[in-house]
Amino acid sequence: MADLISYREAVAKGLAAELRRDPAVVCLGEDIGAAGGVFKTTAGLFDEFGASRIWDTPISEQAILGMAMGAAMTGMRPVAEIMFSDFFACCWDYLANEIPKMRYMTGGQVTVPLVVRTANGGGLGFGAQHSQAVENWALAIPGLKIAAPSTPADVIGLLAAAVRSDDPVVFFEHKGLFASKGPAPADGHLVELGQAAIARAGTDVTLVALAATVPLALAAAGQLAAGGVAAEVIDLRCLVPLDMRTVLESVGRTSRLVIVEENPYQGGWGGTVASIVADEGFELLDAPVRRVAAACVPLPFADALEDQVIPSVAAVLAAARSLVAY
């Protein structure tokens, strides 16, 4: 059996590999240096690469992303950390107006090859301003690539692709997965952006998931199997590029689709997936498309309340069973 590595360790390992490979890679963010990051996702980097590659910043999200952008436009490959994805709101101008538009509105004169890493999602009881799943915010902006790994191996592989991408990539690390473990990939592991993975094959119903909803969907698939229902779980891995070919092919096999997303139902990424399936895969369906998403409320603090709001295995089971019985 391959060595196990945690999702948290995979972030540092993936960054270290890119820092070693390319001297243009440089990291900046709050507490990422000697402190190793508030989630310890940059642990060890400062010791290995020093202050000239790993830069601690003040609590200045606009400066962090603006500096990363200016450096990316002039020959560097910065990897910026925004500690919690909720803080995107503090630097939204850079994610919505500056970074994604620069190449287009200059007629292709400049490129912005940078990565914005951030800790996303709920399940840890951090309350409404440190727990949101905001991948749908990024999806609202043409010009951003979006990765959201669910396994340690994908963290390393997608991070390598993101750093090497000549386009800006928003890289969502899920807080609820940091402690999870999986097989460590071989050195040089690379996962191309925009290629979904079939996390579990099945023929009766397709469960499309992302990041922390992948283990959720896999748990549901395990329980469905016990009842004789073979669910196929697709890990999108990226929202842009969005691998709809894999989704449509799966729906072609199963004729039933449940989308499991942690962002709120209102404006969630599942709406985009569902609309494409309705438009291009209508004849493939034998049942309505169901979306299991977060409720349309701010994330509450208490576990007992948070559990009510974010997707659960029970909710995925209910949705899948309703389609199989349809």
Partner 1 sequence: MTATGSTRGTIGAGQLLALYEQMSVIRRTEQAAHDLFLAGLVKGTTHLAAGHEAVAVGASAALAPDDYVFATYRGHHHAMARGASPAECLAELMSKGTGLCHAKGGSMHLTKASAGMLGSYAIVGAHLPIAAGAAWSAKLRGTSQVAVAFFGDGATNIGAFHEALNLAAVWALPVLFICENNLYMEYTPIGSVTPVAHPAADRAPAYGLPAEIVDGNDVVVVAHAVARAAERARSGGGPTILEAQTYRHFGHSRTDPASYRPAAEVEHWLGRDPLDLAAARLGALGVPPESVAAAAQRAASIVEQAVATAKAAPPPDPGDAFTDVWADGGSSWRT
Could you list the residues that contact partner 1 (CB under 8 A)? 26, 52, 55, 57-58, 60, 62-63, 65-76, 78, 93-94, 97-98, 102-111, 113, 142-143, 165-167, 194, 240-246, 276
Nearer to partner 1, 128 or 276 (CB): 276
| Cα–Cα distance measured from residue 150 to residue 106, given in angstroms and rounded to the nearest whole number | 35
Helix (H, G, I), strand (E, B) or coil at 146: strand
Closest contact distance (angstroms) between CB of 90 and partner 1 is 9
**Rounded to 5°, angle at Cα 246 from 226 and 291:** 60
Nearer to partner 1, 43 or 63 (CB): 63
Closest contact distance (angstroms) between CB of 39 and partner 1 is 23
Q: Does the annotation count 130 as an active-site position? A: yes
Helix (H, G, I), strand (E, B) or coil at 81: strand
Q: How many angstroms separate the Cα of 255 from the Cα of each of 219, 289, 312?
A: 21, 10, 23
Closest contact distance (angstroms) between CB of 108 and partner 1 is 4
Cα 306 from chain centre: 20
Nearer to partner 1, 99 or 260 (CB): 99
Q: At what angle do helices 213-226 and 313-324 cross, to 10 degrees?
A: 50
Nearer to partner 1, 259 or 313 (CB): 259
Closest contact distance (angstroms) between CB of 51 and partner 1 is 11
Residue in 153, 159, 308, 123 with CA at minimum distance from that of residue 235: 153
In the set 40, 53, 101, 130, the catalytic residue is 130
Residues identified as active-site: 130
